[in-house]
């Protein structure tokens, strides 16, 4: 048991500290503890804004909801749901909703905080938020999934809204789930409110290019980093973990640029092909069968052997804490592009850094999704929709500019790209905090 003293955040004036709830404890293992360590690393670079840093170390608002539904077999099941608004200094909360059997409050808190950092890093006018339900959606029928989604939306309806907090897709949620969320919120409000969620179907106020946006952003920062490091994308070997909306699209774009996608891992297993996988055929296989399992034109390798695969670019695009102390020493890549949120632990970050492997951190690398979510929200408010070319061009420009600014800060301060992104983002958030002042 840590002593109450050990549980106090290092930066709080001693006179005002109290024992923190365990989930705010910096020594608490898990995603929130990792996020707190990342904030600690950046605090020395914040100058006078460091006086506000505790703002970043606790979420502004945390809602835990019970989500009861009728199952198809006539019984009633209860699921636990969350919506965490980490920060709203720069604008409404913004961030996805995930459905996963392992979702915890600590995870949703960390994901909401990473949204604050990400949104500030690409300078979209949002704070950060995230939601989730601890449920395995693969165990639910379509009707059960709809009922879970609608009841959850009703429960969090007291804190979301187009100017308050705008959910979006994340792990295991998609355009259909967003359509149900939009409809439920609109029914409760008594008027159709398309801007309450992003990532909707295009026919319901969704944006062209949104589905591919996160993968396109991953590819864009990869190309920019390659320019800085002298890597030739057209001859690069790429390994991808997660072959969904992020990894699948990134793999397609890297393959189109001439790269060889040599390894792919998802929940169905791990595939390897030195000559490069046929990405289009693999995407079609996954669309039909739900995972890479059973794809014939590749060698099946051990899941753990994925980390030893000879490659130039590694793209973790699945869940958190995949690159750890245990496997960071084995990674062959010269560059890691974090498509997922939080895939690298701080210890692994240090190992990769010491080995000269460049990490393009989640908080900039996967910001393409929320950037096009911002475009979607703007289009919904103006009821005027842009062409896909215009959206992609604006997305690429935002990602390039944000990446260039982060690269420059990393270079000037001799810090990692993750710390540099946190410096840029935390300064923006805390500057807004400072300007607004405290109420009352």
> Would residue 130 show up in a list of annotated catalytic residues for this protein?
yes
| CB neighbour burial string for 280-300, b if at least 16 within 10 angstroms, e if fewer | eebbebbeeeeebeebeebee
β-strands 128-134, 93-100 pairing = parallel
> What is the rounded distance in angstroms from the CA atom of residue 431 to the CA atom of residue 121?
13
The SS3 of residue 63 is: strand
Count how many residues are written for the chain.
440
In the set 57, 94, 118, 130, the catalytic residue is 130
Subset of residues 337 to 356 that bind ligand GLU, contact rule: CB under 6 A: 341
Residue 170 CB, shortest distance to ligand GLU, in Å, is 4
Residue 72 CB, shortest distance to ligand GLU, in Å, is 29
Binding mask 302-321 for ligand GLU (x = CB under 6 A): --------------------
Interface with ligand GLU, residue 211, by CB under 6 A: no
Q: What is the separation, in whole angstroms, between the first and last Cα of the chain?
A: 36
Cβ proximity to ligand GLU: between 55 and 366 the closer is 366
Residue 225 CB, shortest distance to ligand GLU, in Å, is 19
CB-facing half-sphere around the CA of 92: CA atoms within 13 A:
16
Interface with ligand GLU, residue 170, by CB under 6 A: yes
> What is the rounded distance in angstroms from the CA atom of residue 70 to the CA atom of residue 279?
40
Where helices occur in 164-245 by DSSP H, the ranges are: 175-189, 210-229
Residue 367 CB, shortest distance to ligand GLU, in Å, is 7
Element (H, E) at 264: strand 260-266
Cβ proximity to ligand GLU: between 25 and 116 the closer is 116
Cβ proximity to ligand GLU: between 26 and 137 the closer is 137
- β-bridge mates for residue 67, sequence order: 79
Binding mask 63-102 for ligand GLU (x = CB under 6 A): -------------------------------xxx------
Cβ proximity to ligand GLU: between 125 and 269 the closer is 125
Residue 46 CB, shortest distance to ligand GLU, in Å, is 24
Residue of 300, 291, 298, 333 whose CA lies nearest to 316: 333
Peptide bond into 162 cis (omega under 30): no
* DSSP category for residue 170: -
Interface with ligand GLU, residue 116, by CB under 6 A: no
- Residue, CB closest to ligand GLU: 96
Cβ proximity to ligand GLU: between 247 and 369 the closer is 369
> What is the rounded distance in angstroms from the CA atom of residue 28 to the CA atom of residue 310?
35
> What is the rounded distance in angstroms from the CA atom of residue 119 to the CA atom of residue 128?
7
| Concatenated DSSP letters of 266-300 | ETTEEEE-TT---HHHHHHHHHHHSSSTT-SSSEE
In 53-207, beta strands by DSSP E: 61-70, 76-87, 93-100, 128-134, 165-169
Cβ proximity to ligand GLU: between 172 and 184 the closer is 172
Subset of residues 349 to 408 that bind ligand GLU, contact rule: CB under 6 A: 366, 369-370, 373
Residue of 432, 427, 435 whose CA lies nearest to 50: 427
Taking CB under 6 A as the criterion, the residue among 168, 181, 221, 226 binding ligand GLU is 168
> What is the rounded distance in angstroms from the CA atom of residue 420 to the CA atom of residue 87?
20
Interface with ligand GLU, residue 198, by CB under 6 A: yes
In 343-388, beta strands by DSSP E: 358-360
Cβ proximity to ligand GLU: between 26 and 368 the closer is 368
CB-CB contact of 404 with 155 (8 Å): no
How many residues sit in the footprint of ligand GLU (CB under 6 A)?
11
Cβ proximity to ligand GLU: between 7 and 370 the closer is 370
Interface with ligand GLU, residue 220, by CB under 6 A: no
Residues in contact with ligand GLU by the rule CB under 6 A: 94-96, 168, 170, 198, 341, 366, 369-370, 373
Give me the active site residues, please: 130
């Amino acid at each position: 048991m840590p002593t109450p003293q050990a549980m106090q955040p290092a930066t709080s004036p001693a006179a005002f500290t109290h024992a923190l709830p365990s989930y705010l404890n910096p020594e608490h293992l898990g995603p929130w503890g990792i996020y707190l360590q990342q904030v600690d690393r950046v605090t020395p670079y914040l100058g006078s804004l460091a006086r506000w840093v505790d703002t970043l170390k606790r979420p502004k608002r945390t809602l835990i909801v019970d989500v009861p539904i009728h199952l198809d077999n006539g019984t009633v099941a209860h699921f636990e749901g969350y919506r965490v608004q980490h920060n709203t200094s720069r604008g409404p909360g913004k961030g996805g909703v995930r459905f996963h059997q392992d979702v915890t409050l600590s995870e949703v808190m960390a994901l909401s905080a990473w949204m604050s950092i990400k949104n500030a890093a690409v300078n979209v006018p949002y704070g950060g938020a995230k939601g989730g339900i601890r449920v395995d959606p693969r165990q639910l029928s379509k009707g059960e999934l709809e009922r879970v989604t609608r009841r959850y939306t009703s429960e969090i309806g007291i804190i979301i809204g187009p100017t308050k907090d705008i959910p979006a897709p994340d792990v295991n949620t998609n355009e259909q789930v967003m359509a149900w969320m939009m409809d439920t919120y609109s029914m409760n409000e008594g008027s159709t409110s398309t801007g309450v969620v992003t990532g909707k179907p295009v026919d319901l106020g969704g944006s062209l290019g949104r589905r591919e946006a996160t993968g396109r952003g991953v590819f864009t920062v990869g190309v920019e980093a390659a320019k800085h490091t002298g890597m030739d994308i057209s001859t690069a070997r790429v390994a991808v973990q997660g072959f969904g909306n992020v990894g699948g699209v990134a793999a397609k774009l890297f393959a189109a640029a001439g790269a060889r996608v040599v390894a792919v891992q998802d929940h169905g297993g791990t595939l390897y092909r030195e000559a490069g996988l046929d990405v289009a055929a693999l995407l079609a296989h996954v669309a039909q069968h739900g995972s890479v399992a059973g794809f014939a034109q590749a060698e099946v390798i051990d899941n753990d052997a994925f980390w030893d695969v000879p490659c130039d670019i590694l793209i973790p695009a699945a869940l958190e804490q995949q690159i750890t102390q245990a496997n960071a020493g084995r990674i062959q890549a010269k560059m890691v592009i974090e498509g997922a949120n939080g895939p690298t632990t701080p210890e692994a970050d240090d190992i990769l850094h010491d080995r000269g492997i460049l990490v393009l951190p989640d908080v900039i690398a996967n910001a393409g999704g929320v950037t096009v979510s911002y475009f979607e929200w703007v289009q919904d408010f103006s009821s005027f929709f842009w062409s896909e070319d215009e959206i992609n061009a604006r997305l690429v420009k935002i990602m390039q500019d944000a990446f260039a600014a982060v690269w420059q800060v990393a270079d000037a301060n001799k810090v990692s790209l993750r710390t540099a992104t946190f410096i840029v983002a935390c300064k923006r958030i805390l500057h807004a905090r400072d300007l607004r002042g405290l109420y009352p």
